[in-house]
Amino acid sequence: MNRIYDRVALIGLGLIASSMAHAIRRAGLAGEIVGTARSEETRETVRELGFCDKVVDSATQAVEGADLVVLAVPVGVMDEIAREIGPHLAQGTTVTDVGSVKRSVIDAVAPHIPEGVHFIPGHPLAGTEHSGPRSGFATLFDNRWCILLPGETSDPDALARLRAFWEGLGANVDEMDVDHHDLVLAVTSHCPHLIAYTMVGVADDLRRVTDSEVIKYSAAGFRDFTRIAASDPTMWRDVFLNNREATLEILGRFTEELFALQRAIRTGDGTLLFDYFTRTRAIRRGIIEAGQDTDAPDFGRGKTK
């Protein structure tokens, strides 16, 4: 047993929160896990699954007596939830989140955090294309990165405790500046999702013309696009609306690169294409060498969880 918090409140009970609960149980990191979700159906599902010790009907009930509160809700409702729980947070409590955009979350949440409560934003870089409480599993964060974004006035003991908690969940932990985080994630996550949604949308238009041959003859590349594009639409809508500047900057650069490749194809510039693909292939090797994916057939995704 390596208890770090007495009571952890999970607000929102989707993939990330349910995986956190399973990982907390695995490592014995909390005395009690309390969860809540807006949907009665979700709350009933979690009661059935049993990964929370207690499931309550409201966020204010969930945070009562909690020394760690995790906001695992879409970015677009962070303000509403923070406003709701603010008056009910105990002195010394740590509040964190798992949103993939950070500047807008800080702007939404920080004004509602009382004096004496520690708000330390976070972002676990882990997930699957599945959502909901049934999709969680204890090993989701193993050898993945969790980024913490403390402010200049963050309490060092609260930060050390939260770092140890995420390490106990299996994650590697790093700290990052807020705006730099949003730019990096626009490159590594947000724009790739937008491109995947676009490609699948184009294929859907084509499928209507070709009598579903796009689906029938899907090769591995398109299958990977559809896997990414199957992600939760509410979450991704909020990501793009709340990380506008960084996303548009990276999309601008992407468009320039795409034009360069179009020109090379049009003019038959095989040397440029070969050199470009050689450089980009090295990125894939680097990801595998860093332990962030596997080079097993089908990227190892045919395995069961």
Indicate if 32 and 95 belong to the same structural domain: yes
Indicate if 196 and 169 belong to the same structural domain: no
Contact at 8 Å (CB) between 85 and 31?
no
Structural domain including 185 reads: 180-268
Indicate which CATH number applies to the domain containing 125: 3.40.50.720
Residue 74 resides in a domain: yes
Q: What is the pLDDT of residue 236?
A: 87
Indicate which CATH number applies to the domain containing 254: 1.10.3660.10
Compute CA 261 distance to the chain's CA centroid, rounded to the nearest angstrom.
31
Residue 301 resides in a domain: no
Indicate if 82 and 167 belong to the same structural domain: yes
Residue-wise pLDDT for 1-20, tens only, equals 589 999 999 999 999 999 99
Residue 68 backbone phi and psi in degrees, to 5: -140, 125
Domain C-terminal end among 134, 149, 176: 176
Residue 242 resides in a domain: yes
pTM of this prediction?
0.85
Low-confidence ranges of the chain (pLDDT < 50): 299-301, 303-305
Indicate if 135 and 34 belong to the same structural domain: yes
Q: What is the pLDDT of residue 84?
A: 97
Q: What distance in Å separates the CA atoms of residue 114 and residue 91, rounded to the nearest whole number?
A: 8
Q: What is the pLDDT of residue 210?
A: 67
Domain C-terminal end among 131, 147, 176: 176
Residue 261 resides in a domain: yes
Residue 58 resides in a domain: yes
Indicate if 44 and 171 belong to the same structural domain: yes
Indicate if 43 and 168 belong to the same structural domain: yes
Indicate if 258 and 172 belong to the same structural domain: no
Residue-wise pLDDT for 106-137, tens only, equals 999 999 999 999 999 999 999 877 889 999 99
Domain C-terminal end among 149, 176, 203: 176
Residue 289 resides in a domain: no
Q: What is the pLDDT of residue 129?
A: 77
Indicate if 18 and 160 belong to the same structural domain: yes
Q: What is the pLDDT of residue 38?
A: 93
Indicate if 164 and 223 belong to the same structural domain: no
Q: What is the pLDDT of residue 296?
A: 67
Query: Domain tally for the chain?
Result: 2
Joined together, the tokens standing for residue 289 give 């060498």
Indicate if 133 and 112 belong to the same structural domain: yes
Indicate if 143 and 217 belong to the same structural domain: no
Q: What distance in Å separates the CA atoms of residue 26 and residue 168, rounded to the nearest whole number?
A: 9
Q: What is the pLDDT of residue 288?
A: 81
Joined together, the tokens standing for residue 151 give 């402010």
Residue 274 resides in a domain: no
Residue 288 resides in a domain: no
Indicate if 154 and 218 belong to the same structural domain: no
Name the helix (H) or strand (E) containing 196.
helix 191-210
Parallel/antiparallel/unpaired status of strands 172-175 and 5-11: unpaired
